[in-house]
Amino acid sequence: MTAEELLAGVVIPIDKPRQWTSFQAVNKVKAIIRNRYGLKKIKIGHAGTLDPLATGLLLVCVGRATKEIDRLQQGDKIYTGTMVLGATTPCYDLEQPIDRHYPFEHITPTLLDTVRQQFIGKIEQVPPIFSAVKIDGQRAYTYARADNTEAVPASKQVHVAEFDITAYRPGSMETAGEAPQTTENKQTEPNKLHRYNNPVNYIPAHLPQLDFRIRCGKGTYIRSIARDIGIALHSGAFLAALRREQAGDYNIQQSVALEQVEAFLDGNETIVKSEP
């Protein structure tokens, strides 16, 4: 691919690794492009932020494709992942350890299915305090890091088109003393300055877990859905794993790993160009 083609506009679908921020992934692509083509000035951005502990499809827009970011963000997203029931964390995922435990023995597949249906269609949700949503002009996470418990993001309406529970593993207090289940902790080039590069990497073995597939609109926080599922179950819940499988017309099968970006630019990977 030539520098002219890049400047004309290209979308590079990245498979973002765990423990990378979307910003770090974009900066990695930017560094590759600058070093390869000697371009000091080139516009690069992304369409739809992924949480640091999430993996999957991140659309990196280069050159004139940055003008398409708003349009690309309007498309539905498909996520798969795992929620853990019977406990909560302050950030609704594994960036921080469990802070409370709740009863879960009453949770059945029938109850789960009833609650699941409450989260399809237009729903109200409050974004996590550990998020980039703004409160009075500042990012919510700045309040969270300052332990400001009074700052709460405003609730908003989002749309969930599909919500399927693909597997359920009931917990048992009989296994409460067993060794915790470890979670995947793969990372490339870790940045030790960020707390999410030292996440909680285990889940108590006795807690129930459910796997899910969600198709939703722009601005939906899956972490908030997990938290709200726990409340609706009269228990607790947090997100243990999340992967974006699709964003609009782009899917994970089209994506390349960060270490494959140069091959993508060589034309050895499928090139997905922005629409004119």
Query: Which residues are catalytic, by number?
Result: 51
Q: Which residue has the tokens 């004119």?
A: 276
- Do 207 and 104 form a contact (C-beta atoms < 8 A)? yes
Beta carbons of 190 and 199 less than 8 angstroms apart:
no
CB 206 within 8 A of CB 196: no
Tokens of 34: 């600058």
Candidates 120, 176, 126; CA nearest to 151 is 126
CA torsion angle 239 243 248 250 (round to 10): 180
- Residue 130, phi then psi, degrees to nearest 5: -85, 80
CA gap 247, 22 in Å, rounded: 15
Closest to 217 measured CA to CA, from 158, 163, 154, 131: 158
Segment holding 206, helix H or strand E: none
Q: How many CB atoms lie within 10 A of CB 173?
A: 12
Q: Which residues lie below 8 Å from residue 54, measured CB to CB, with a gap of 6+?
A: 16, 18, 242, 243, 244
